[in-house]
Amino acid sequence: MATRQELQVQHKRELDKKEESTIPARAFLPTADIYETNDALNVVLEMPGVDKSSVDIHVEDGALKIEGRLDFSKYQGLQPLYTEYNVGNYSRSFRLSSKIDQNKIAAELKDGVLSLVLPKVEEAKPRTIQVK
């Protein structure tokens, strides 16, 4: 594979909602990276345009739900001339496979990238088993 691969635009996938929201806003799935370390599950989501105060993170019944709202007031008085990407809120949920310590979830939002660290509970951490 070429080392200087040109970046391609990722088309935003729209969220399929089970129930409709009261406001007719569109919601998109933020692109996500999920990786696991020995101690924690890390979830990284790209939500450009979302600031710290507009992010909601819930863990309920083994499901992680992330919502990011956009400040549409910034778009007031702007007349679109040419558009290539959709603008909307972000929403995505994941079913968590391993047990997560809900009290210790850490979140950081920087430059539109939300990084979540979900620490595993002690009994879910991997153990090395010695063969006798």
Partner 1 sequence: MITAFADPFDALLSLQRELEARFASDWLHDMTTSRGPFPPINVFQQGDDILALMELPGIDKNDLQIQAQANTIRISGRKRVDYSNGVSVHRRERVSGEFDRTLSLPVQVDPDRIKAQYRDGLLALFLPRAESDKPHSIKIK
41-78 burial code (b ≥16 CB/10 A, e <16): bebbbbbebbeeebbebebeeeebebbbbbeeeeeeee
Among residues 20, 61, 77, 130, the one that binds partner 1 under rule CB under 8 A = 77
Q: Does 118 bind partner 1 (CB under 8 A)?
A: no
Q: Which stretch binds partner 1 (CB under 8 A): 18-26, 59-67, 79-87, 99-107?
A: 79-87
Q: Does 32 bind partner 1 (CB under 8 A)?
A: yes
Q: Which is nearer to partner 1, 8 or 103 (CB)?
A: 8
Question: From CA 27, how far away is CA 20, in angstroms rounded?
Answer: 11
Q: Does 83 bind partner 1 (CB under 8 A)?
A: yes
Among residues 14, 26, 37, 62, the one that binds partner 1 under rule CB under 8 A = 37
Helix (H) or strand (E) holding 67: strand 63-68
DSSP 38: S
Q: Does 63 bind partner 1 (CB under 8 A)?
A: no
88 and 26 in contact (C-beta within 8 Å)?
yes
**Would you tell me which residues interact with partner 1 (CB under 8 A)?**
1, 4-11, 31-37, 42, 44, 46-51, 75, 77-85, 87, 110-113
